[in-house]
Amino acid sequence: MKLMTALVNVALNLSINLDNTQRQYETERNKSIGKRANERLELLLQKRKELQENQDEIENMMNAIFKGVFIHRYRDVIAEIRVVCIEEIGMWMKMYSEAFLNDSYLKYVGWTMYDKQGEVRLKCLTALQGLYYSRELNARLELFTSRFKDRIVSMALDKEYDVAVQAIKLLTLALHNDEILTAEDCESIYHLVYSAHRPVAVAAGEFLYKKLFSHHGPEDEGRPRRGRQCLNANLIRTTVLFFLESELHEHGAYLVDSLWDCASELLKDWESMISLLLDEPYPGEEALTDAQEAALIDIMLCAVRQTCECHPPTGRGPGKRVLTAKEKKTQLDDRTKITETFAVALPLLLAKYSVDPEKVTNLLQFPQYFDLEIYTTGRLEKHLDALLRQVRDVVEKHTDKDVLEACSMTFHALCNEDFTIYNRVDIVRSQILDEQIDKFHRLLEDVLQEGEEPDEDDAYQVLSTLKRITAFHNAHDLTKWDLFTSNYKLLNSGLQNGDMPEQIVAHALQCTHYVILWHLAKVSEGSASKDDMVLLRRQVRAFCLMCQRYLNSISTVVKEQAFTILCDALLIFSYQIVASGREALEPLVFSSDASLQSELLNFILDHVFVDQDEDSSTDDEANKIEALHRRRNLLAAFCKLIIYNVVEMKTGADIFKQYMRLFNEMLSDLGCNFDRSTSAFCGIKELARRFSLTFGLDQLKTREAIAMLHKDGIEFAFKEPSPQGEGGPPLNLAFLDILSEFSSKLLRQDKKTVHLYLERFMTFQMALQRDDCWLPLISYRNSLQMGADDDTLSVISGMSSRSSARSRRSKPPAASKRKLDVSVWVNREQSGPHTPVMMSSPHIVSTVLRDAKKLLPEQGYMGVYSMSNETQHTPLQQPHQHMDYNRRGSGLMEDDEEPIVEDVMMSSEERLDDLNEGMDFDTMDIDLPPSKNRRERSELKPDYFDPASIMDDSVSILSSICLFIHSLIHFIIY
């Protein structure tokens, strides 16, 4: 292929020289007779003839290489050879488009896009990108685009992320022609901006930006640069509409990150966004709806976060990275601009949307990204006072948890002692907390003195005040207000009277937990007195006892809250609290007794391992998912106690018993017909994969354990007979799919031993099954067969390589000196009936299986295709061998793709006929436009009866004979 590329380069130079010579000749001939130089005309004619002859010779060489090499090797069984072929033909079409950029050559790239190897598909896309990049060549790609456009669009969802990225980039280049992609095609790319894989999302973002945002009409010329009527404001509206129509409102950060590389200037236009929110619409202009305003605030917040943090959102990359000096300077400049802009606008926005919880929650997060020094240096203190007034007003109006926590985090961000504004903010914060805590103590005293069940108004006042205090206590130290005593009285009253509302009890438990944590943080600093240590120890024990008593509450919300907090407290105050030189905290260690451990375990068994239908009182799918999420959190809280030895390790046995019970129930209900693609089964496979990684890289160290794992797994898979009767798959056969995750941990020689042991349980009919229910057995056998799919042998030297491999296998390898001693469990039960051991499929390359029709036309076709009913099997063609060959031969292309994709093992003659079928191509010769006098190319047609072809076919027959003898010996022995 490299030689062909060099010839193409030579042909291109010859074509250029020939054109130049032709122009010089025409110029000289058009001169008048008196000025015409006959000698020069003769020289030019001679040079043109010489160039024409050279070009014809180069054409013949290229045609010979293309027909003799490329036609046979662009579908080679070795992926690297297919990659080289597609890479080079892409260069030919780009270098010499006049000769090669036509449908006669483009079709090979189109067909190869269906290849099963990702690297081959990737090379097809990169080759096409070089063609679509030039607008001049787009017109010559119309037929190819119409034929293979659907395939390119589908490759945007390719399982190989690199292929998907290049497919989207190719479609982006195709946007030069608006008629190529339909609205449905574009919509299939749009949703990829929410992909978790960042390169795919960024490529889709660029596609979205060029499709929706890069077209400017004449009406956009006179728009102002800033404000509500500027061009960016119109594009921001378009972004908001797209965000809402995607119906993925919670993924605004992903949309911003996808558009960041190509539309960062648009997303940083804070003035236009604020103008759309605050300014009144102009006459005739449509105002933003409530949903559009909420979406715009969300996008604006995500853009501010992306600007200040300079890293993708969670799940889209490795996390924070080291910024360059230029990036740091840009980050500081942007942060300064954000502070100057939103310090003025944020109080106004909060005043306008103060009653909307969703909008207020997002707006209150902006101060976390401010450069607080700007308030002083920019003389913006009055805007700070306005912001604090608005936040205080929000605290008094709202009781929503998210809003209150956002207010708490705003004060936490502004209360920074390193800045001069600290005193201003601290005064306002202290006033808010004093009012709320005094109100809480007054209300609580009234409720406890009455001794009766609090009415709805009193309960609401207590709950709303407790919510505000709990939200602020999460981020601020409130220990000086002594909230533990008040909360303990409230919780004790709830236990004694049983009339306290569940929400009040739940928030009281959470607030008391915060009190203890802040007290622990103060004690851990080392400046606490002995009295503080004794007080904290007493509070911890009293609070844990209170949580333990609330485990028997009739309210599910209270029980779950008490259980979670109790598990966290036991973990925090376990013996590990004295680690890392904190021996002074040893008096605070709190160990759970046997009764507490038993109560925690019983809670898990009663509230976690229950049927989902019984646990959920409604049929709403969202509520069921939420209930499942809560049960998972409860189980995780208890499992942490087991991991860190807070409770005895034996309690974990009861957890595993529940999993085994659920697994056995699933098998008994579904049997062998359950869907292997479900999330539950995939989760078990993922768990097996992760468990296999725990065996490490030292295979010799874990050799015996891995072998016994496979042995017991095989026995378990075939232990229970099929519920469908004879001929059906065993009940536990799906376990082999799980067991295949551990095949990579076997040594090379041990795989062969385990494979032999597997075949002891198999019958001849099992090896021939190809139904979906037998896929676990097929995949497990493939994982044990070494080298069956290795693309390591050259096609041309395939037979010689295998011959040398056989000679090497005749010698005992060094690794086999330490053979696994498994003869006991491989050869045991000798008295039982033996099942035939199936042969592994031979490694087949394209030169091994030639078209036998060319060699023996009178005997009929004996190749790799299915024969008609009249065709008789020769002794060289065992039925199961024929099946293996056919399955192997169709392995390069997608099984469900179009019939235009031919089989890998087609002969050269049939290949040419099939490739041209359905395509209006009347020639396969390389047609170089400048050349006028063509030689006849009949002598370049490949000779199908050359000695090399006959030798290859003879080798194929000999290989089939050896294969039959080998199979016969196996049947005789076993």
Nearest to 376 by CA among 340, 335, 430: 340
pTM of the model: 0.70
**CA–CA separation, 69 and 65 (whole Å):** 5
- Cβ 37 vs Cβ 28: under 8 Å: yes
Quick one: which of 249, 341, 276, 358 has its CA closest to 304? 341
Backbone φ, ψ for residue 794 (5° rounding)? -70, 145
Which pair of structure tokens corresponds to residue 453? Answer: 């069940």
* Residue 115, SS3 per DSSP: strand
Which residues lie closer than 8 Å to 16 by C-beta, 6 or more apart? none
d(CA 405, CA 428): 16
User: To the nearest 10°, the Cα dihedral for 912, 916, 918, 922?
Assistant: -150
Helices (H), 761-861: 764-768, 775-784, 798-809, 823-826, 852-855
CA atoms within 13 A on the CB side of 268: 18
Contacts of 263 (CB under 8 A, 6+ apart): 205, 209, 213
What CA–CA distance (Å, rounded) separates 524 from 518?
10
pLDDT of residue 786: 57
80, two tokens: 């690297």
φ, ψ for residue 634 (rounded to 5)?
Answer: -65, -45
Say how far apart CA 516 and CA 589 lie, in whole Å. 14
The predicted structure's pLDDT at residue 843: 34
Positions of the chain with pLDDT lower than 70, given as ranges: 34, 215-227, 248-249, 319, 450-453, 612-619, 663-664, 666-676, 786-974
Task: At 533, list the tokens.
Answer: 């240590």
For 678, the 3-state DSSP assignment is: coil
Q: How many helices (H) and strands (E) does the chain have?
A: 43, 0
Residue with tokens 């049939």: 910
Q: Counting every residue, how long is the chain?
A: 974
pLDDT of residue 839: 34
What does the pLDDT read at residue 425? 95
Coil vs helix vs strand at 432: helix
Alpha carbons 21 and 51: distance in angstroms, whole number: 9
Provide the 8-state DSSP code for 575: G
Six token digits for residue 46: 């001679």
* Cβ contact 745:695 at 8 Å: yes
pLDDT the model gives residue 478 = 92
For residues 210 and 175, what is the distance between their CA atoms, to the nearest angstrom?
Answer: 8
**Between the CA atoms of 273, 277, 278 and 284, what dihedral angle is there, to the nearest 10 degrees?**
100
Q: What digits encode the pLDDT tens for the residues 173-219? A: 988 877 788 889 999 999 999 999 999 999 999 999 999 887 655 55
